[in-house]
Every structure is written in C-alpha cells, then in structure tokens.
Amino acid sequence: MSEPNESGQAGMLDQPVSRRGLFVLLGFAGLATAAGVLTPIIAYIWPPKQEGDQAGEPVAVASTLDLPPGKGQVYSVNNRPVIVINTPEGIKALSAVCTHLGCIVYWDEQRGAIACPCHAAFFSTNGDVISGPPPDPLPVYPVQVVGDQIYVEGGSS
Ligand code: FES
C-alpha cells in the first residue's frame, strides 16, 4: 500500500516507474502513433473493395422503353458515369467522362452526337472525337439487351 501524498490521497502516481515500464509504455505509444499514421496511408494506396467495383459485371441500367430510338442518357455503372444511346445501329454505351478534362458528357439529340459542355467538344456514337480539344475517343463498353432490359458491363477505365 502506498503512503498518502501531499493532498492526503494514496495512488499509483506515487509509485516510481521503472525504466523497463517506461520503455514498454513508450513502445505502446509509438506503435499506436505509427498505426494511426500508417492506416489512412495504406487505405489510400490500397482502397478496400466496394460493392459494385467488379469491373466487367453487367449492370441493368434501363428498359428499352425508357430509352426509345434517338434518345441517350447518362447512368451510373459501377460508380462510373456511362452514356447509353439508342442509335440506328443499336444500343451503345460509352464512358461519359470527357477525355479532355473529365467533364461529364451528354447526348445532344439535335446534333445526334455526344457533347461535352465544358469546351464545346463533340463525339460520335462510336466515341470518336468529331470536334474540340479532347485528345482521345470515349471508351466503349459492351452492351447486352435481354428482353426489354439494357445491361452495360461496368467499365474498368
Ligand atoms: Fe470536355 Fe474539355 S472537358 S472538351
């Protein structure tokens, strides 16, 4: 039992800390600090898999009734914006992220082309650049139509 201190209370603070105990305490503090610093860095470098991250897995985006001929719409496929267009050659899906600076494109029904609102660029329904500054075409994603349902394989890029 320890002797009462100046305030008249006995406690653990009155007991001397051994050098070994101090090293153990500093070791735990160092490990806790390292874990606190390294955990978010590791999570940033290797993010945990999220549901819907399986690139290539078909995702139901819409019904053909929702997307009649000549119409186009941007949908989220595996957390990526994808533009789906009902063209005379069939239903097509392309990345909706402009290859210039990453703006989200839209379907310009009047021009029959995919348009980027940021720098007035246009892409064909095959993704090729018609005009404007984008350096590359839009990536094309595989589409399946089963009954009335349109499926797009989640893009991996
Ligand atoms: Fe699309 Fe610049 S971001 S043209």
- Alpha carbons 14 and 57: distance in angstroms, whole number: 65
- Alpha carbons 47 and 130: distance in angstroms, whole number: 37
Nearest to 83 by CA among 110, 55, 115: 115
Give bridge partners of residue 74 from the DSSP assignment: 83
Model pLDDT for residues 108-117, shown as the tens digit of each residue: 999 999 999 9
pLDDT of residue 38: 78
- pLDDT, averaged per 10 consecutive residues of the chain (157 residues), comes to 53 70 82 79 64 66 93 94 95 97 97 97 97 97 94 72
CA of 138 to the centre of ligand 1 (A): 12
Does the beta carbon of 101 lie inside 6 Å of ligand 1? yes
Pairing relation of β-strands 106-108 and 113-116? antiparallel
pLDDT of residue 97: 97
Distant-in-sequence, close-in-space partners of 104: CB < 8 Å, separation ≥ 6: 74, 81, 96, 97, 98
Q: Which amino acid is present at 147?
A: G
pLDDT of residue 110: 95
